[in-house]
Structure 1
C-alpha cells in the first residue's frame, strides 16, 4: 500500500484466529530419559513437570555427580554416568538429547540404535550432512525423531500459520527477523565446534522457512570471532515469488529479537522475543499502521514454552508418525544447510 492510500484493509480482533492448543491430558504420558544435565535439561524437566503429564524417569551425564544433582532437584529416581546405560533401559520411551550440538549426532545414534524415540535439542547438528545421517538412521530404525524447534509449537505459531494460510496478509514481500544477545561470557557458544548462526540464528532462519519455504539465493555478510567461529551474521534470502527475507543473528550484541511479515494487505509483527510465548499484532499495510494485538495468556512464560513440543511429540508417537508435520526431517536438514551456507559466505572454516 502507498503511504497515504485511501484503500486500506482494516483488521479487528475477530481477524486474529484462535490458536490450536493441545490438551496435555489428551496425549500419552511417555517415560523420558535425558542425556545431558546442563541448563537446558534443567529448564526442560521443570516445564514438563509444570505444564505436561510427561514423566522424566532417568538422567545421564558424563560429568560425575551432575546427573544426581539434577535428579535430586526434580525427584528423578534413576541416574547414569553412561548414555548407553540409560538408553538400554526398557522402561524408557523417548530420549531428550540435551548435550552440546557437536555431539548430538553420536548421542542421538546411541538412543536410536537402542530403539528409542528422540527429541534432539536444536540445532540437531552443526552440519546438514550429519543431520541427514541422523534422521535417516531414525527412519530406518522406525523410531520418531524431531528437532526441538519449540517455536513451531507455540500458540502464536498456530495463529501465524492460520493468518498466512488464510491470505490475510496478501502477497508476502518481506520478512525481517533477528536474534542477538551479548553472549561472549557463555563458553559453549565459542567452542571450535560451535556456531552462533546454527545455535542462535537457526530461530530466524526457521521463521523464514515456515512462512516462505526455502530461498533460491542467499547473500550473507558478517563478522568472525575466529577462523572457525562467527560473532554475527546477516543475510538476505531471495525467493521464487520475488519475496525477500532479512535475517540477523549476533553473539556480540543485544538486538530486538522481533519478527515481522509484510504483505500487500497486512503486516504481522511478532513480539520480542519472537521464539518464546509472547504476542503478535495484525496491522494494516500502511505507514505507521495499527491493528489488533493478541497476547499469550496461557501462563506459560519464557522457556517454559518448551513444554508444547513435548506434548506434540507424545501425540505424534501415539499416531505412529516418524516425524513432525510442523518440522519435518527434510525441513530440519535444509534449515541447517542454510546456516551452513551463511557461514561459508562470511568466511568460517567449516
Structure 2
C-alpha cells in the first residue's frame, strides 16, 4: 500500500501549492481554477457549428478542425454549439459525428459534447451493460463526485435510460459492494469542511473495534463511516486511527476487507487524502502494461478537464517522475493523442 503511505506524507508534509497551478476562475471570480480548459473569450456558437460542418464534409473528415474547436471550448460552450448546429442544419451533431468518426477519437469527441452528468451516466451505464460489470468505474465515479453531481447524474441516467440508477446497481452488484454504492447514491454524505475531533476519535475507535480488535470484521461499521463522513473528517479519523493501531488504517482496510468492497472503500480513502493523486494513479494504471486503457484515459481527462486536471498533472509528475503529457505521447497516437494533449492544456 505504498500509494496510501505516500498520500499521508503528501497530505501532512508537502501540500500542493495552489498558486503554482491555479488559473483564473472561468467565471471571473477570485476562486482559483484548476481546470485545463477555459471558455473561448471570442465564442460564437453558430460560427463553430458551421466550422464543424465544414470539417465533417471535408473528404476523409478534417479531424484536426474538429479537435481545434471542441478541445478549446468549455463544456457550456459546447452545449451551445450543439444547439446551434441543430438549429442551423436540422441535424443532431452527436449522430452526425458518430457516423463520421471512429475508434477512440470518436469516443473523446462524443464525451466532450455531453454534459458532465450525461457523460458520467453514460459511463456508469456502460460499466453495468452486458456481461460482467466494471466495478472500478462504478467506484471511481460514485466515490469521487459531490452530492450535487450525484443527484445530477441520477437525473441524467433516468432521462437517458428510463430507469433509476439504483435499479441497475441492484441488478448488477451484490453484498457489501452494493450497499456502498447505494449509500453513495443517496447523495447525503456530509460535505462540511469543519472537523469534529471528538467524532473522529469515536469513529476511529469504532473502526478499530470492528476490524483489528475483532475476530471477523463488522463491515457495516466501515461502510457507514466511510460513506457518511466528509472527506476532511475522514482525514481526521485516519490520523486518530494511527494513534490506536499498530498497522494503520490502510492496512486495516487491506486485511479486513476484500475484493470489490475493499476497492470501493479504498477509493473513498484515497480521494479523501488527495483526489488529484487518486486520479493520477488511475491514469498511470491505464497506461501501464501492454496497450493503453483508452476508455479510462478518455473518461478521466474529459471529466476532470474543468475541475482539477492541472492538479492531476502536477501529481502525476511528482508520483511517477515524468509528465502526464510525456506518458500520453508514449502510449497513444494520431488524432486521439492530439485531442488528449490539447485537453491537458498542451498548445
Instruction: Tell me if TM exceeds 0.5.
Output: no
Q: What TM-score, normalized by structure 1, do the two folds share?
A: 0.32
Higher strand share: 1
* Larger CA Rg, structure 1 vs 2: 2
Q: What TM-score, normalized by structure 2, do the two folds share?
A: 0.32
Higher helix share: 2
